[in-house]
């Protein structure tokens, strides 16, 4: 893969009028020698998300049914890049984020994700995660084991994404399912530096303990075969 491989950044959004201009600006500010494009994968926003995005020099806007899996698949279909990078509207990135992705791919990895930090209360949130996942002696997170969630900023070669038939269009745990299949069949890499910054808004609005407990229980129940359509009822949108 050429060092100047094209990266398609796909923003997954629904009613993110307050943040959409910020995330597009974050992506435009990347210091990367290769070619890039920005795609908004909208889930049918009822606010001004798409109108604002259309004024900010992005290459495409796709609209699909609401749901991250369906939106990411729709964005991937129109992407022209060699590498797909799925991001959320509430993320912030160091300026060498794209370069780090290209380096991972050039080193023979087919996809992966980033270490992350929360924009507020990071130590509290991470400590709760360690405690609820019984990470007393083994401090490895899921991402250290090749399991990446949306907040890790999943990236993948487009050919590999197509080979895996994209994300399963389920209402929750689509990222877990995809990264599990990705890690089972291809070499993946966790980029520890730079770290991406993600919003703690769900923890603040829904409660720190409740949010972390939901994450742990939903993952375990999904692994035990509970329907993601049932699990999604316990995990509502927070804006």
Look at residue 158 and tell me if it is in a domain. Answer: yes
What digits encode the pLDDT tens for the residues 166-180?
A: 999 999 999 999 999
Q: CA 71 to CA 64: how far, in whole Å?
A: 6
Q: Which residue has the higher pLDDT, 21 or 136?
A: 21
Residue 14 has pLDDT above 90, yes or no: yes
Residue 99 lies in a domain: yes
Condensed to tens digits (0 to 9), the pLDDT of residues 120-144 reads 655 655 554 554 555 554 556 678 7
Residue 103 placed within a domain: yes
Residue 215, pLDDT score: 77
Q: What is the pLDDT of residue 117?
A: 84
Query: For residue range 38-65, what is the model confidence (pLDDT) as tens digits?
Result: 999 999 999 999 999 999 999 999 999 9
C-alpha distance from residue 215 to each of 66, 140, 172, 178, 186 (Å): 21, 16, 11, 17, 26
Q: 154 in helix, strand or coil? A: coil
* Per-residue pLDDT, 6: 96
CB 122 within 8 A of CB 45: no
Q: Please report the beta strands in the chain, taking only residues with DSSP state E, as ranges in sequence order.
A: 7-13, 36-42, 60-63, 83-88, 111-118, 155-157, 188-198
Better-predicted residue by pLDDT, 45 or 203? 45
- Asked if residue 42 lies in contact with residue 10, where contact means CB atoms within 8 angstroms, the answer is no
Within a domain: residue 128? no
What pLDDT band is residue 233 in, cutting at 50, 70 and 90?
A: confident
The answer to whether residue 217 sits within a structural domain is no
Return the pLDDT at 4.
65
CATH number of 116's domain: 3.90.550.10
Domain interval for residue 47: 7-120+141-200
Mean pLDDT of the chain: 88
Q: Is the pLDDT of residue 5 over 90?
A: no
Q: Do the domain assignments include residue 135? A: no
Instruction: Output the pLDDT for position 145.
Output: 83
Give pLDDT, residue 197: 87
Q: Which positions ≥6 away from 230 have C-beta within 8 Å?
A: none
Of residues 200 and 35, more confidently modeled: 35
- Give the pLDDT band of residue 1 (cuts 50, 70, 90): low
Report if residue 174 sits inside a domain.
Answer: yes
Whether 199 shows a pLDDT value over 70: the answer reads: yes
Is residue 76 predicted with pLDDT exceeding 80?
yes
Q: Is residue 176 included in any domain, yes or no?
A: yes
Number of domains in the chain: 1
pLDDT higher for 138 or 29?
29
């Amino acid at each position: 893969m050429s060092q100047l491989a094209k990266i398609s950044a796909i923003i997954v959004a629904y009613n993110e009028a307050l943040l959409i201009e910020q995330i597009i600006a974050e992506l435009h500010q990347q210091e990367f020698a290769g070619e890039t494009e920005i795609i908004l994968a909208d889930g049918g926003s009822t606010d001004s998300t798409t109108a604002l995005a259309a004024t900010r020099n992005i290459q495409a806007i796709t609209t699909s049914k609401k749901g991250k899996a369906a939106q990411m698949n729709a964005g991937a279909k129109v992407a022209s890049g060699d590498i797909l990078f799925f991001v959320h509207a509430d993320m912030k990135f160091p300026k060498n984020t794209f370069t780090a992705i290209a380096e991972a791919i050039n080193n023979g990895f087919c996809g992966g994700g980033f270490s992350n930090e929360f924009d507020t209360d990071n130590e509290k949130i991470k400590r709760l995660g360690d405690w609820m996942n019984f990470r007393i002696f083994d401090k490895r997170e899921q991402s250290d084991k090749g399991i990446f969630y949306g907040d890790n900023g999943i990236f993948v070669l487009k050919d590999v994404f197509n080979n895996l038939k994209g994300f399963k269009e389920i209402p929750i745990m689509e990222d877990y399912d995809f990264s599990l299949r990705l890690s089972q069949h291809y070499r993946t890499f966790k980029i520890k530096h730079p770290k991406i910054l993600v919003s703690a808004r769900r923890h603040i609005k829904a409660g720190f303990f409740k949010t972390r407990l939901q994450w742990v229980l939903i993952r375990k129940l999904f692994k035990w075969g509970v329907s993601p359509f049932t699990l999604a009822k316990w995990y509502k949108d927070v804006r």
